[in-house]
Chain A
Amino acid sequence: MNPPLQTTRSARAQDLTTLLARAVVGGLYVYMGLSKALYPVDFLKLLRQYNLFESALWLNIIAASLPWFEVFCGLLLLFGVAVRGTALVSLATLVPFTIVVWKRALVLQAASQIPFCAVRFDCGCGTGEVNICFKLLENSILMLLSAWLLLTPRFRACLWPEPVTKLRLRSASRVTP
């Protein structure tokens, strides 16, 4: 049985932070995912600029799936389903994407001979042309919020926050009366 929830001021602040983190990360994922999913060709062209895939099949698979995958993860966070797992997926995708965007910005900076923070380009993130330093800051904040959601001790206002843990606890309690 779960112990009673703490209702101290710090616990309330934690709950509020968690709720805000879910709203911000989830909302951004839905917005960015939809803006790409509605114009997949534009996203495909932008993705190609990174020269990550030699194979057309892989390029198409990533361009076709990633926008909808983002929308899916965003909805899970907003509704509070599998929050920790989704936060881990979010971190696992944000880290390599941030590195890739940063590397692309370095290439553009070298080609155009301008200061790093003056580099602006459409990174294919769903928000159009952005300043690279702003983008890196935004991604860092998203990573911090995802890490918070991964490590936070509890969840409120969630439909099904930790389905795997809950199901395993339930099956364990059935086995040991």
Chain B
Amino acid sequence: MKNTGFHLTSAQPERRLVNVFIEAFIVGAVGFAIAMVANSLSPRGLSLTRNYFPPAPTQVASATNNAGVVASPPLLATNASRENKLAERLAARGLRLIEFAGVRQLYQDPRREQELIVFVDARNEQSYLEGHIPAAYHFDHYYPDKYLPEVFPACQQAEIVVVYCIGGDCEDSEFASAYLVDAGIPAARLNVFAGGFEAWKTNGMPVEIGPRGSGELQQRQQ
């Protein structure tokens, strides 16, 4: 880097001000263009046109008719009110909420071995590899092209699909289910596990580490 020591005493103050604004405009325009190119080249880049957070039908009707409207995220809420609201949104989408007891029953059901009951993990890749419900398929709905070819046939042949994310305020299971419905999986098959992976772990259920079918199981203490 050369030591220019450049300064502007030869320019008029008002011209300097105009120059700074022109410079800022160029920085903004070039920066935005470069950012858009970087996003399109990045393997983790976002699609600009997709609505990642489609509102449930009743939300759309109450807010606006615009199909591109984003669902409002939940603010701080108690567990009970959170689950009630989730159940309402799921019902509006034709989906069902399922509690831990029901999920455990499905996990122990022999139909799971025949893949007639399928678990779908809607968290990101890192969380999935750190631990998931044994034999659960991974479906990060933000990158459907990567995961749908594997998860879609499994959901198509299953009788019951249980979709989960981390639990709590996490909405990824809801949006992943909505995406699967749009892709052609009947909504009646889909069950959203509200407690999510946190509830699974805290109840001492087995956890598979690494990719699906790695066989590396971890039985946690209740």
Contacts and interface: CB of A to CB of B under 8 A. Distances in A.
Contacts of B35: 64-69, 72
Interface in B16-65: 16, 19-28, 30-32, 34-36, 38-39, 42, 44-53, 63-64
Interface string A77-111: 00110101110110010000000000000011001
B24 A37 contact: no
15 contacts: A1-B10, A40-B42, A41-B124, A44-B46, A44-B52, A54-B64, A60-B52, A64-B39, A68-B38, A84-B20, A85-B21, A85-B23, A153-B8, A156-B3, A168-B19
Contacts of B76: 108, 111-112
B142 A48 contact: no
A134 interface: no
B4 A55 contact: no
B75 A111 contact: yes
B69 A65 contact: no
Contact of B5 (A84, A107, A154, A162): A154
B16 A165 contact: yes
A153 B10 CA distance: 12
A164 B26 contact: yes
A61 B36 CA distance: 8
Interface string B90-121: 00000000000000000000000000000000
Contacts of A157: 1, 3
A166 B6 contact: yes
A150 B52 contact: no
Given A150-B20, A153-B8, A155-B6, 11 more contacts: A5-B5, A40-B42, A44-B46, A51-B73, A54-B70, A55-B70, A57-B48, A66-B35, A72-B35, A92-B24, A159-B1
Interface residues of A, number: 61
A100 B48 CA distance: 23
B208 to A, nearest CB: 23
User: Which of the four size classes fits the interface of chain B?
Assistant: 35 or more
- Interface of A, secondary structure class, is helix
Given A68-B34, A76-B27, A153 B7 contact: yes
B66 interface: yes
A44 to B, nearest CB: 6
Interface of A: 1-3, 5, 37-41, 44, 48-49, 51, 53-57, 59-61, 63-69, 71-73, 76, 79-80, 82, 84-86, 88-89, 92, 107-108, 111-112, 150, 153-159, 161-166, 168-169
B15 A168 contact: yes
A75 to B, nearest CB: 10
B69 A56 contact: yes
Contacts of A165: 8, 11, 15-16, 19, 23
Contact of A161 (B6, B30, B68): B6
B175 to A, nearest CB: 10
B48 A61 contact: yes
A40 B46 contact: yes
A99 B53 CA distance: 25
